[in-house]
Structure 1
Amino acid sequence: MKTKLIALDLDNTLLNPQKNISTRNELILKKLHRKGIKIILTTGRPIKGIVPFIKQLDLLKADDYAINFNGAVVVNNLNKKTLFSQDIVKKDILPIYNLAMTYHFPLDIVSLQQAYSIIELGKSTYENYIGSLMTFSNLSFTNLPDQKYYKFVCQDDPTKLDKIVALLKTVDDLTIVRSRRNLLEFLPKGTNKKIGLEKLMSHFGIEWSEVIAFGDEENDEDMIQAAGVGVAMGNAVTSVKRSANDVTVSNVDDGVAVFLENYFTNVL
């Protein structure tokens, strides 16, 4: 079956440890995009947090989209119109906030336009991770605006996150997933990258057998299992490697480009 769409996780997959898209990855993706294959960035980041990568890859045609917030939002790269979204509101966050107050872990809450650090829980390193692409405000939970949010996160030491995950086993009204070993994400119930991709694929009339998906972490597992060709990075967690059809080399060694150059030998 002809490949029509390539879905790419960003952190620790397409991006190298310096948080950049290498020249080798850039060139192969641009070539495939010019040949009509849809290149879809599928990430936990908001759209504002991936604009430089969209521009670098020239993903600015009228039918170019991205999957953001781990599948909670599907947005057009050019006009920023939303094709699909699932959200949470302040009351959905309250039970986790109460747990955070009891067990002392940080929370950052993210809307389309900006993020909020709940200051009485302590400042995490999440703002440094996102960088200057997203505006952050420090405020108390009481003063958090009552509006739509698309995820909230806890960034902390991986060992501490293991303990926090154990506390959350009875929480069933949110989707809770690791996107990095030190980042735990809280999403609208039922949200994952597979769901977001399915909405976009339905829009274009694309089947899963026509999709290649790359990833490295738990939040990539659903789309890798569903894709016609699911590719785990060499640095992926064990469960993702087990779910994949193939394993490429690590993001340090341009694993995306290595796989695509071999897969599309007769096309390029």
Structure 2
Amino acid sequence: MITTIALDLDNTLLTSEKTISLRTEKVLKQLHDNGIRVVLCTGRPIKAIQPLLKQLNLLTPDDYSITFNGGLVQQNATGDILARTSLSKADIKPLHAYAKQQGIPLDVIDLTQVFSLVDLGKSEYEAFLKGLMPFTDLSFADLPADDKFGKVVSASTKAVDNREQLPAEITNKFHAVPSRRNLLEFLPQHTDKASGLKQLLAHFDDDYSNLMAFGDEENDLGMLKAAKVGVAMDNAIPAVKAIATDHTLNNDDDGVAVFLEKYFSLV
């Protein structure tokens, strides 16, 4: 039995205008009211998705989100952490050296802010987030040594294109995955949306057999493979379509709502 619906955000739940359509909002609220867990799964911090959580009324004690692409499992209303994997400054040091060698930018993210490592050059990541989190510009030497970081991102097409050539000292420590065509994310090793969902499902004495997931990009592959019902959007990349159990319309044609209405026989 499906008890949990996991939803990627950009180009899956959200339209091209970065909104949740009224039809999709109605369907998700109906299922949530019927006892189905609705879990937003994103690389963003929970502060950045609060408007979406409020829109969908996902603010009860049993409502959680997967943030930092699986690195954090958080209670929506309070931000309390159920599970966490993180990186230290020491972990990031070899990545910084690699980025300097390659000429690619890095931004390092903790629970409350983004640190732009401007000794590598200012990236486009701040413009991409559009004010969703505060930014601090500093050099790697000034990065707080006692902080815990959820992920490091490189807003660079070059970083994405060259990820197959990452050296062992990087791949042994990080799970490197694109979340967009020009955004490469470096997560703690063995961390993805599937690992976060596994921890959340276990909290409710469930497992992947109770999971339905929707996605479109490479960072959604893990949860779509793991889910009992893995749904690829029509706008998904070929690799996602290839492993999905089901397919639906694109994100601008209410793909999520259309599939859920049929699967759960909603009126």
TM-score scaled to structure 2, two decimals? 0.95
Alpha-carbon spacing, 1:11–1:140, altered in 2? closer, same or farther (3 Å): same
What is aligned with 1:166? Answer: 164
Could you tell me which runs of 5 or more consecutive residues in structure 1 were left unpaired when the two chains were aligned.
Answer: none
What is aligned with 1:213? Answer: 213
Q: CA deviation at 1:46?
A: 0.9
1:59-70 equivalence runs, <5 A: 59-70=58-69
What is aligned with 2:225? Answer: 225
1:1-268 equivalence runs, <5 A: 2-146=1-145, 147-157=147-157, 160-170=158-168, 171=170, 172-265=172-265, 267-268=266-267
SS of residue paired to 2:100: helix
What percent identity do the matched residue pairs reach? 49
Q: Name the CA distance, whole Å, in 2 between partners of 1:41 and 1:123.
A: 29
Q: CA deviation at 1:164?
A: 2.7
Could you tell me which runs of 5 or more consecutive residues in structure 2 were left unpaired when the two chains were aligned.
Answer: none
Q: Name the CA distance, whole Å, in 1 between partners of 2:167 and 2:178.
A: 14
Q: CA deviation at 1:81?
A: 1.0
Q: CA deviation at 1:156?
A: 1.8
For 2:144, the aligned partner's letter is: P
Q: Which deviates the most, 169-178 or 105-114?
A: 169-178
SS of residue paired to 1:129: helix
1:217-257 Cα offsets, whole Å, 9 max, x none, are 11111111111100011111111111110111111222111
Q: CA RMSD in A?
A: 1.2
Q: Name the CA distance, whole Å, in 1 between partners of 2:160 and 2:57.
A: 39
Q: CA deviation at 1:14?
A: 0.6
Q: CA deviation at 1:169?
A: 4.7
For 2:164, the aligned partner's letter is: A
SS of residue paired to 1:132: coil
Q: CA deviation at 1:74?
A: 0.3
Q: Name the CA distance, whole Å, in 1 between partners of 2:99 and 2:243.
A: 32
Moved over 3 A (4+): none
Mapped contact 2:160–2:178 kept (Cα < 8 A): no
SS of residue paired to 2:131: helix
Q: Which deviates the most, 213-222 or 125-134?
A: 125-134
TM-score scaled to structure 1, two decimals? 0.95
Q: Name the CA distance, whole Å, in 1 between partners of 2:164 and 2:3.
A: 40
